[in-house]
Chains A and B, each alone.
Chain A
Amino acid sequence: MLAIITAVEVALYYLDLSRNALVGLLLALSALKFALVVLWFMHLRFDNRLFSTLFVGGIVLAIGIFTVALSTVGGKLV
């Protein structure tokens, strides 16, 4: 499953898509991979809620603060 997604991603990279479509698709696919690993490999789906709260908290915090920080100095996330 993960292998297939990676293959699709690389294939997409070589297709002549518009940049926005490419970015969108790639982000969606890697988010899917991310979720697969986290939820099943790391058992977050079946484990204590506390763990997912902590981990998601960390991710959300990181994305949130750096989105704001970059936007004030003219950077872009993607």
Chain B
Amino acid sequence: MAGVAQAGNPLGRALRDVRHMAEDRYSIWSWIATVDHKRIGIMYGITAFTFFLIGGVEALLLRIQLAQPNSTFLDPDQFNRLFTMHGTTMIFLVVMPLSAAFFNLVIPLMIGARDVAFPRLNSFSFWAFLAGGIFLNASFFIRGNIFEGDIGAPGAGWFGYAPLTSTEFSPGHGIDFWILGLLILGVASMAGGFNFIVTILNMRAPGMTLLRMPLFVWMTLVTSFLIIFAMPVITVALFELLFDRLYNANFFNASVGGSPLLWQHMFWLFGHPEVYILILPAMGIVSEILPTFSKKPLFGYPFVVFSGVAIGFMSWGVWVHHMYTTGLGTVANSAFGLSTILIGVPTGVKIFNWLATMWGGSISIKTPLLMCAGFVTMFTIGGLSGVLHTMVPSDFQQQDTYFVVAHFHYVLFGGSIFALFAGVYYWFPKFTGKLLGEGLGQLHFWLMLIGFNLTFFPMHISGLLGMPRRIYTYQEGFGFDTLNMMSTVGGFIIAASMLVFITNFISSLRNGEKSGRDPWDARTLEWSLPSPVPNYNFKEVPVVEARDAFWYTKYRENEEGVVVRIEGAAADDEEDDGEGGHGIHLPSPSYFPLIAAAGLPIIATGLIYDPALVAVGVATTMIGVFGWAIEPPTERR
């Protein structure tokens, strides 16, 4: 790095000053330049939760519009743009990055590593995600005055079916923002995917064999593989659409023989693995929390692992079930109907094993466990309505109705979001040293459970009564009125539950009860560390001798085969002496990932508005990449 930080050279001095600021743990610059997986995880979590609130407000606006027939609260254009942004936000800016937050926070700790394999790439992932998220949401402001209702966001649905997304049917730049935003987010997820596969395969502590890895680590591995294989497909599809829109290419132009079905195939070839990218991390979280709160190991560990891997494989063979009504023919529909039915088997295995884990346990009914119970039950409902969908002929009726909306919200909200909140309540103490308030936690849970069911259960019925998705209004006399009003009320109850959560989060952060190392009597390695975790994670890299490695340092079987606590084991020596960190090589902070990521939205804006900006963006990214390549990765402390 000699070339950059030479004394005497003003630029070099400035750079050195910024670098020193980055090393001060309390400076904002230390967050911006951080390569510490825990800090990146926290930033992922907070950013994703912010987007969750934005997506939630969008949902509330939609629900107000639909509360009554012939409502004019929103006009059709606003409605279409809002539901597009709601779906896109919740999938790409909420559930995926919230999962990524947990990958970052706990994966290195669970496998006994000091950091991820590529800390700066990890920081790049976060900044690219943030850049993509902001870029995507910037589309709201590209047309007129947003406060007067001129919102300019994309309006062709999160699935962006061709040829509705063509310049002919979607003029303006909303769709361009959508395409480029998703491309940037794709870069972020892929970088994360590679990083976590390498981390999990290569950075495990001695003795941490594959079949001793915690379930969450396994599910992260499967998810990461799905990301790196599914994202390229949607990347190509988005590029093709971009070429169609910006340069008049013909990929999806039916008038010269282009096939709209090509888009659907590529979208769902990505889209179905994506569904499992959203749910597998949640399953992993639940598989950690249920054993801890039941004081029992996960029942049928190898079966839960293999069913997760099987789901990962099978997710590649079911995408056509999103396309049953496109007329691909009876042969294709039969084959994919059967393959979809088959994917219910490993999912069922997981549910049974979770129940068996709790069976015979000593279940501590606290918020993380309640959230998990909510997950198991709500996800079961979503899974079963999924089975109803696999019945191809009856799906001809349900496709594109509110029945489907109910189904995937039971899976993605009842499933993923409940589990992610379980994770927040479970791991909050590990990174703050404080417990989240139990009373408000339970209030949050019950409000959310009731609100959720009130919102989405009636949608099953409105769907069966023939209410299509994505309609901005409906008329009286179809039997939709009461059901939609119920859904809207439920939506506001969910919103209230989020206020409870935010209150709880902030007040616990300030005045929360101290947690100590191991508040839940947990089983995995992260709980052997002080809370909050010191920046070097492990003073000494642990040697793993069993699954549930931490548990076996606390408990053993006595002569009669009864499990007893080992006297004095894992004493809660809360105070970290602060000495252990000396001599540990930590990756040094770096601004270059941020610079590299910052170039991406500049390139994207340039592609839409001005080629000169593309050059600026490319130059920025190149500076980031070259600086990154030349900069030494670690410095001695």
Contacts and interface: CB of A to CB of B under 8 A. Distances in A.
Instruction: Check whether chain A touches chain B (CB < 8 angstroms).
Output: yes
Interface stretch (A2-10, A23-31, A65-73): A65-73
B261 interface: yes
A32 interface: no
Between A58, A64, A69, the greatest number of chain B beta carbons within 10 A of the residue's beta carbon is seen for: A69
Contact of B316 (A50, A61, A72, A73): A61
A14 to B, nearest CB: 30
Interface in B189-214: 201
Contact of B329 (A50, A61, A64, A72): A72
A40 to B, nearest CB: 25
B542 to A, nearest CB: 24
Contacts of B616: none
Contacts of B261: 73
B296 interface: no
A58 B259 CA distance: 26
B269 A65 contact: yes
Nearest to A69: B265
Question: At the interface, is chain A mostly helix, strand, loop or mixed?
Answer: helix
Most buried by A among B265, B269, B332: B265
B265 A73 contact: yes
A64 to B, nearest CB: 8
B604 interface: no
B328 interface: yes
B287 to A, nearest CB: 25
Place the interface of chain A in its size category: under 10
Interface in B304-348: 316, 319-320, 328-329, 332
For the complex, would chain B's binding face be called helix, strand, loop or mixed by DSSP majority? helix
Nearest to B335: A68
Interface string A28-72: 000000000000000000000010000000100100110001001
Given A61-B316, A65-B316, A73 B269 contact: no
Nearest to B229: A61
B249 interface: no
A37 to B, nearest CB: 21
Nearest to A71: B332
Nearest to B316: A65
Contact of B328 (A50, A65, A72): A72
Contacts of A61: 229, 316
A72 B332 contact: yes
Nearest to B261: A73
Q: Which of A58, A64, A65 counts the most B-chain CB atoms under 10 A from its CB?
A: A65
A50 to B, nearest CB: 8
Nearest to A58: B229
Contacts of A58: 229
Interface of A: 50, 58, 61, 64-65, 69, 72-73
Listed from nearest, the 10 A-B pairs whose CB atoms lie closest are A69-B265, A72-B332, A72-B328, A73-B261, A65-B269, A65-B316, A61-B229, A73-B259, A69-B269, A61-B316
Given A50-B201, A73-B265, 10 more contacts: A58-B229, A61-B316, A64-B316, A65-B269, A69-B266, A72-B265, A72-B320, A72-B329, A73-B261, A73-B328
11 contacts: A65-B269, A65-B319, A69-B265, A69-B266, A72-B265, A72-B328, A72-B332, A73-B259, A73-B261, A73-B265, A73-B328
